Amino acid sequence: MEKREKIVHVIHSFYPIIGGIEKSIYETAIRQKEKYDITIITSSKVPKAELGLTVERLKSIRFFNMPDLTLPIQRSKILSDADIVHYHSQNSFFSVMLLNKNDNNVFTLMAINGLRNHPNKIIKLLSPLYLTITMNKVLYNSKKLIVKNLGDLKILREKYKRDAYLVPEGVNEIFFSTPRSNTFIEKIGDEYILYIGRLHKLKGIDVLIKASKLINSRIVFIGPGDISLYRKMAQTLGVDKKCIFLGYVDDLTKIQAIDSSSLVVIPSISDYVEAFSITLSEAWSREKAVVGSAVGSLKFRIINGVNGVLVPAGDHVTLAEEINKLLDNKKLAEKMGKEGRKEVISWNDVVKLLDKVYWE
């Protein structure tokens, strides 16, 4: 039997928990599995699920119910046996604590300054110290570094005098191959704009619901979270007829929803939650225009007026105004979507880029 190199991914959270980092590691690992021996090391706080991957859950404790502050209280011998150990996120206490100096260590940095504008005042206050501690350990112990966007690459080069490989996130291949269809609009019954992502305050759901009063369109929300909370908010503001919550959907349904929408909106209010934005790539893969907040990777990926529109985070009035402008100028929206499509790659492409990082 041919020997297969062992690759281990380390992160505090994984499927069946839904989120950007969980999706990124899953989509990468499931494809790497075709060629390599893959193991995911995560926390015991992650529920068990049948994923088609080997997952080892280390005993852990969690502080303040914050996933990033998950502390492993045991180690895994796999870390010393692997050919490549790929750690994810310097904000992850779990990843940083398991990191020891080794020539086979690869570390992906995500939203390096993402905690500095966190709405939680305690997190914001402690972020410089936390970042100093975690970054010092990451830089000392990692052989190779990866970033997901040009903003983090610039910070790394200018502040920390280290270089890194730029490996963006991908999208599932069906986003390229599925024929376009506008049939989803029949389910909604009228023109709509689309939000895709977790229903969470940092994702700007409150801002978008407030903006809905001024937006000349209905809004469809796709993604997991406390739907009842936001439905109640929409009712309180008198916009419950304009805000439609569909919860979590599969990729094919998501594609159909994107195709039938007028545009996609990403109203996040914090750098922390936009380390890359797979939603942006998914929208662009279907040549759909995007209006997004100028936070995190969005402000480096969206070229204002060219492949999308950037608005100040938390400004629901400006958000509504810019959305309405694009609703009134469909040719411009279409042009922006086509420009965005040029920036998107598949998960298979991501795996090829990682091969170069691992083995060069």
* Distance in angstroms (rounded) separating the CA atoms of residues 201 and 268: 8
Pick left, alpha or beta for residue 99 (phi over 0 → left; psi -120 to 50 → alpha; otherwise beta). beta
Helices (H) and strands (E) in the chain, counts: 15, 15
* pLDDT grade for 1, boundaries at 50, 70 and 90: very low
Strand pairing partners for 6?
Answer: 37
DSSP 8-class letter at 19: S
Q: What is residue 214's predicted lDDT score, i.e. its pLDDT?
A: 97
Q: For residue range 2-50, list pLDDT tens digits in order.
A: 568 999 999 999 999 988 899 999 999 999 999 999 999 999 999 999 9
Q: What is residue 120's predicted lDDT score, i.e. its pLDDT?
A: 74
Cα Rg for the chain, rounded, in angstroms? 20
- Statement: residue 118 has pLDDT above 80: no
Q: For residue range 152-173, list pLDDT tens digits in order.
A: 999 999 999 999 999 999 999 9
- Statement: residue 119 has pLDDT above 80: no
Q: Which phi and psi (to 5°) does residue 246 adopt?
A: -105, -10
Strand pairing partners for 194?
Answer: 220, 264
174-341 under CATH 3.40.50.2000, yes or no: yes
- Bridging pattern class, strands 54-58 and 37-43: parallel
Of 325, 280, 324, the C-alpha closest to 298 is 280
Q: What is residue 125's predicted lDDT score, i.e. its pLDDT?
A: 83
Strand pairing partners for 218?
Answer: 192
Of 265, 268, 249, the C-alpha closest to 257 is 249
- Statement: residue 348 has pLDDT above 70: yes
- Statement: residue 132 has pLDDT above 80: yes
Which sign does the torsion angle of CA 89, 95, 100, 103 carry? negative
- HEC readout, 148-205: CCHHHHHHHHHHHCCCCEECCCCECCHHHHCCCCCCHHHHHCCCEEEEECCECHHHCH
Q: What is residue 113's predicted lDDT score, i.e. its pLDDT?
A: 84
Q: For residue range 200-233, list pLDDT tens digits in order.
A: 999 999 999 999 999 999 999 999 999 999 999 9
Q: What is residue 2's predicted lDDT score, i.e. its pLDDT?
A: 57
Q: How remote is the C-alpha of 142 from its chain's centroid?
A: 23
Percentage of the chain with pLDDT > 70? Answer: 99
Strand pairing partners for 245?
Answer: 221
Which comes out higher in pLDDT, residue 129 or 139? 139
State which of 64-78, 121-135, 284-298 shows the largest mean pLDDT: 284-298
Q: Where in the chain is the domain with CATH 3.40.50.2000?
A: 6-170+346-359, 174-341
Q: For residue range 286-328, list pLDDT tens digits in order.
A: 999 999 999 988 999 999 999 999 999 999 999 999 999 999 9
> Containing H/E element for 79?
helix 78-81
Mean pLDDT of the chain, nearest integer: 93
Asked if 118 and 92 count as a contact pair (C-beta separation under 8 A), the reply is no
- How crowded is residue 247: how many other Cβ atoms within 10 Å of its Cβ? 11
What residue has token string 């068990």?
48
* Distance in angstroms (rounded) separating the CA atoms of residues 180 and 88: 35
Q: Which phi and psi (to 5°) does residue 134 adopt?
A: -70, -45
Which comes out higher in pLDDT, residue 155 or 65? 155
Q: What is the mean pLDDT of residues 177-201?
A: 92
CATH assignment of 6-170+346-359, given 3.40.1710.10, 3.40.50.2000, 3.40.30.10, 3.40.50.720? 3.40.50.2000
Six-digit token pair at 196?
A: 């895709």
Which sign does the torsion angle of CA 13, 153, 120, 130 carry? positive
Q: For residue range 273-285, list pLDDT tens digits in order.
A: 888 899 999 999 9
- Statement: residue 102 has pLDDT above 50: yes
